[in-house]
């Protein structure tokens, strides 16, 4: 994001486009950044991490107050076959769940902790359905609760279908 620490960041709306790919409307970002090597990519990681908000709690000196999602989209054109291939890699750093009583957070930090815990719980519910024997038996024709949280909405095309997920 160009201004990650704005006091009133834009409202993000997560949805699917016509090809069922996740889109985030309202996200202030460059549409693409070309890079040639690992050094340039690390600079982009550093820029993205610079926008993370952390705070001191009773349990952690630098507690992440949000999840971070770094998206790498690739497009390759084969000159011989004249075919294009595209891919998407989501690198997601999930903020850890926290016990509000132990971390002794209040106000905004308490709201952040509640939101983080809720999103991780929803992610657990999605993973539970996707990894269930019943889901496998029905060959994916079963309700998956992606829409219960913005995190699971954003991760939808990375968790289901033909996506490969590593945790």
Question: Is 27 domain-assigned?
Answer: yes
Question: Is 2 domain-assigned?
Answer: no
pLDDT digits (tens, 9 = 90+) for 58-113: 777 777 778 888 888 778 889 999 999 888 888 888 888 888 888 888 888 888 88
Question: Is 24 domain-assigned?
Answer: yes
Q: Domain containing 137: what range?
A: 13-159
Q: What's the confidence (pLDDT) of residue 121?
A: 95
Three-state SS letters, 44-71? HHHHHHCCCCEECCCCCCCEECCCEEEE
Question: Is 106 domain-assigned?
Answer: yes
CA–CA–CA angle 14, 46, 157 (5° rounding): 30
* Phi and psi based region of residue 107 (left: phi greater than 0; alpha: psi -120 to 50; beta: remaining): left
Question: Is 84 domain-assigned?
Answer: yes
Question: Is 146 domain-assigned?
Answer: yes
Question: Is 167 domain-assigned?
Answer: no
Q: What's the confidence (pLDDT) of residue 160?
A: 81
Q: Could you give the number of structural domains in the chain?
A: 1
Question: Is 138 domain-assigned?
Answer: yes
Return the minimum-mean-pLDDT range out of 92-96, 127-131, 145-149.
Answer: 92-96
Return the higher-pLDDT residue of 139 and 35: 139
Q: What's the confidence (pLDDT) of residue 4?
A: 44
d(CA 30, CA 33): 7
CATH number, domain at 74?
3.40.850.10
């Amino acid at each position: 994001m160009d201004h990650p620490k704005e006091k009133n960041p834009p409202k993000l709306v997560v949805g699917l486009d016509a090809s069922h790919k996740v889109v985030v409307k309202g996200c202030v970002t460059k549409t693409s950044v070309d890079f040639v090597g690992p050094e340039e990519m690390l600079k982009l990681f550093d820029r993205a991490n610079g926008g993370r908000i952390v705070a001191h709690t009773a349990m952690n000196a630098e507690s992440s107050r949000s999840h971070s999602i770094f998206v790498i989209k690739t497009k390759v054109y084969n000159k011989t076959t004249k075919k294009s291939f595209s891919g998407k890699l989501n690198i997601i750093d999930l903020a850890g769940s926290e016990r509000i009583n132990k971390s002794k957070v209040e106000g905004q930090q308490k709201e952040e902790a509640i939101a983080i815990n809720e999103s991780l719980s929803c992610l657990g519910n999605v993973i539970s359905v996707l990894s269930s024997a019943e889901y496998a038996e029905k060959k994916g024709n079963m309700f998956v609760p992606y829409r219960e949280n913005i995190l699971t909405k954003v991760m939808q095309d990375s968790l289901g279908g033909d996506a490969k997920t590593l945790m």
